[in-house]
Amino acid sequence: MSWISVEKAKKLEERFGYPKVSESKGVVSVEVPKDKFIEFLKFLKEDKEYDFRMFLDLTIIDHGEKEDPRFQGVVILFSPSYQQRIIVKTWALDETLPTLTGLWKGAKWAEREAWDMFGIKFEGHENLVRMLLWETYPYHPLRKDFPLEGIKDTYLPSLNETLRGDSLEGMFNYDRMHTALPTMEDLEITQKRRMPVKTSQIVLNWGPLHPGTHGTIWFLFDLDGEYVKQCDIIIGQLHRGVEKLGENVNWQQFIPYTDRMDYIAAINENHAYVLAAEKLLGIDIPEKAKWIRTMMAELSRINSHLLWLGTYALDLGALTMFLYTFREREKIMDIIEGITGARFTINYFRIGGVFADLPYGALDAIEHLIKDLPERINDYETLLTRNRIWLSRNKDVCIITEEDVYDYGLTGAVARGSGVPYDVRKIDKYDAYGEVEFDIPVGEKGDSYDRYLVRMEEMRQSIRIVEQCVAKLRKMSKNDPYFFQTPDEKKLKVTIDGRGMKLPAGEVYASSDNPRGELGFYIYNKKDGLKAHRMRIRSGAFYNLQVFTKAIIGRPIADAITLLSTIDPVVGETDR
Amino acid sequence: MGVKKVGAKPQTLVEKIFFLDFIKGLKTTIKHLWKKVITVDFPYEVVVPPPRFRGIHGLRTVDGTEGPEFDGWVKRLKIKPPEPGETRCIACKFCQAACPVPELFDIQSEKLDVPEDHPHYGLKVMTVFNMDLSKCTFCGLCTQACPTDCIIMTDIYDLSAYTRRNWVLDKDMLTQIANDFVARRGKEKFDEKSQWREDQKLWPEYDKTREKLWDFNMPRLGPNYQDQTA
- A554 within a domain of the structure (yes/no): no
- A353 within a domain of the structure (yes/no): yes
CA B54 to CA B110: how far, in whole Å?
30
- Specify the amino acid at residue A464: R
Contact B104, A258 (CB under 8 A): no
Number of H helices, E strands in chain A: 19, 20
- B225 within a domain of the structure (yes/no): no
Nearest CA in chain A to B195: A356
- B195 within a domain of the structure (yes/no): no
Helix axes A287-315, A448-474, angle to 10 degrees: 150
User: Do A362 and B224 count as a contact with CB atoms less than 8 A apart?
Assistant: yes
Between A and B, how many residue pairs show a Cβ–Cβ distance under 8 A?
213
Tell me, yes or no, whether A392 and A460 share the same domain. Answer: yes
Domain hosting residue A65, numbered range? 6-123
- A370 within a domain of the structure (yes/no): yes
CB atoms within 10 A of CB A521: 27
- pLDDT for position A463: 92
Which member of A253, A367, A456 has the closest CB to residue B141? A253
- B146 within a domain of the structure (yes/no): yes
- A93 within a domain of the structure (yes/no): yes
Domain hosting residue B128, numbered range? 57-185
Contacts of A487 (CB under 8 A, 6+ apart): none
Give the count of domains, chain A.
Answer: 3
3-class DSSP state of A569: coil
Q: Pairing between strand A96-98 and A121-123?
A: parallel
3-class DSSP state of A313: helix
User: Which residues of A fall within a CB distance of 8 Å from B196?
Assistant: 356
Contacts of A167 (CB under 8 A, 6+ apart): A157, A160, A161, A173, A176
User: Do B140 and A341 count as a contact with CB atoms less than 8 A apart?
Assistant: yes
Tell me, yes or no, whether A276 and A151 share the same domain. Answer: no
Q: What are A285-295's pLDDT values in tens digits?
A: 888 899 999 99
Tell me, yes or no, whether A114 and A174 share the same domain. Answer: no
Mean pLDDT (chain A, rounded): 86
Report whether the peptide linkage leading into residue A19 is cis, meaning its omega lies within 30 degrees of zero.
Answer: no
CA A277 to CA A271: how far, in whole Å?
10
- A426 within a domain of the structure (yes/no): yes
User: Do A360 and B53 count as a contact with CB atoms less than 8 A apart?
Assistant: no
- B138 within a domain of the structure (yes/no): yes
CA A198 to CA A380: how far, in whole Å?
42
Contact B118, B36 (CB under 8 A): no
b/e map A390-411, b = 16+ CB within 10 Å? bbebbeebbebeeebbbbbbbb
CA A297 to CA A294: how far, in whole Å?
5
Closest to A414 in 3D by CA, of A445, A451, A439: A451
**Range scoring the smallest mean pLDDT among A36-45, A166-175, A421-430, B36-45:** A166-175
User: Do A253 and B99 count as a contact with CB atoms less than 8 A apart?
Assistant: yes
Give the count of domains, chain B.
Answer: 1
Query: What average pLDDT does range A438-456 have in this prediction?
Result: 88
Q: Which DSSP string corresponds to A441-499?
A: EE-SS-SHHHHHHHHHHHHHHHHHHHHHHHHHHHTS-TTS-SB---S-TTT----SS-T
Query: What average pLDDT does range A276-290 have in this prediction?
Result: 88
CA A519 to CA A570: how far, in whole Å?
12
Tell me the HSE value of A99 on the side-chain side, using a 13 A CA sphere. Answer: 20
b/e map B127-138, b = 16+ CB within 10 Å? eebbbbeebbbb
CA B50 to CA B204: how far, in whole Å?
6
CA B142 to CA B101: how far, in whole Å?
11
Contact A249, A257 (CB under 8 A): yes
pLDDT higher than threshold 80 for residue B73:
yes
- B167 within a domain of the structure (yes/no): yes
Contacts of A318 (CB under 8 A, 6+ apart): A383, A384, A387, A390
Tell me, yes or no, whether A86 and A153 share the same domain. Answer: no
- A547 within a domain of the structure (yes/no): no
Quick one: pLDDT band at residue A302, thresholds 50, 70, 90?
Answer: very high
Contact A247, A534 (CB under 8 A): yes
Which member of A342, A364, A440 has the closest CB to residue B4? A440
Q: What are A139-166's pLDDT values in tens digits?
A: 888 888 888 888 888 887 776 666 665 5
- pLDDT for position A164: 61
Number of H helices, E strands in chain B: 7, 6
CA A409 to CA A411: how far, in whole Å?
6
- pLDDT for position B201: 85
Contact B144, B108 (CB under 8 A): no
Q: Pairing between strand A96-98 and A84-91?
A: unpaired
> What CATH code is carried by the domain that includes residue A24?
3.30.460.80
Quick one: pLDDT band at residue A305, thresholds 50, 70, 90?
Answer: very high
What is the phi/psi pair of residue A393, to 5°?
-85, -15
> What CATH code is carried by the domain that includes residue B100?
3.30.70
Q: What are B178-193's pLDDT values in tens digits?
A: 999 988 888 888 888 8
Closest to A130 in 3D by CA, of A116, A110, A146: A116
C-alpha radius of gyration, chain B, whole number: 26
Domain-ending residue, one of A181, A198, A225: A181
- A464 within a domain of the structure (yes/no): yes
CA A194 to CA A130: how far, in whole Å?
9
Tell me, yes or no, whether A47 and A159 share the same domain. Answer: no
Domain-ending residue, one of A89, A108, A123: A123
CA B206 to CA B48: how far, in whole Å?
9
> Which strands, in side-by-side order, build the sheet including B168-169?
B105-111, B124-132, B168-169
Quick one: pLDDT band at residue A167, thresholds 50, 70, 90?
Answer: low
How is residue A179 annotated by DSSP? E
- pLDDT for position A165: 57
CA A365 to CA A432: how far, in whole Å?
21
- pLDDT for position A434: 86
**Range scoring the smallest mean pLDDT among A162-176, A208-222, A232-246, A454-468:** A162-176
CA A472 to CA A517: how far, in whole Å?
27
- pLDDT for position A160: 67
pLDDT higher than threshold 60 for residue A46:
yes
Instruction: State the greatest distance between any 2 C-alpha atoms of chain A, in Å, as a whole number.
Output: 76
- pLDDT for position A171: 55
Query: What average pLDDT does range A443-461 have in this prediction?
Result: 88
> What CATH code is carried by the domain that includes residue A363?
1.10.645.10
Tell me, yes or no, whether A350 and A260 share the same domain. Answer: yes
pLDDT higher than threshold 80 for residue A263:
yes
Tell me, yes or no, whether A164 and A92 share the same domain. Answer: no
- B228 within a domain of the structure (yes/no): no
- B61 within a domain of the structure (yes/no): yes
CA A299 to CA A131: how far, in whole Å?
33
- Give the best residue of A149, A162, A171 to mutate against chain B (max B CB count within 10 A): A171
- pLDDT for position A306: 92
Query: What average pLDDT does range B14-31 have in this prediction?
Result: 81
CA A504 to CA A359: how far, in whole Å?
34
User: Which residues of A fall within a CB distance of 8 Å from B139?
Assistant: 255-256, 259, 345, 347
Tell me, yes or no, whether A77 and A166 share the same domain. Answer: no
Tell me how close the Cα of A454 comes to any Cα of chain B, in angstroms: 7
- B75 within a domain of the structure (yes/no): yes
User: Do A386 and B163 count as a contact with CB atoms less than 8 A apart?
Assistant: no
Of chain A, the percentage scoring pLDDT greater than 90 comes to 7
User: Do A172 and B3 count as a contact with CB atoms less than 8 A apart?
Assistant: no
pTM for this predicted structure = 0.90
Quick one: pLDDT band at residue A528, thresholds 50, 70, 90?
Answer: confident
CA A21 to CA A9: how far, in whole Å?
7
- A561 within a domain of the structure (yes/no): no
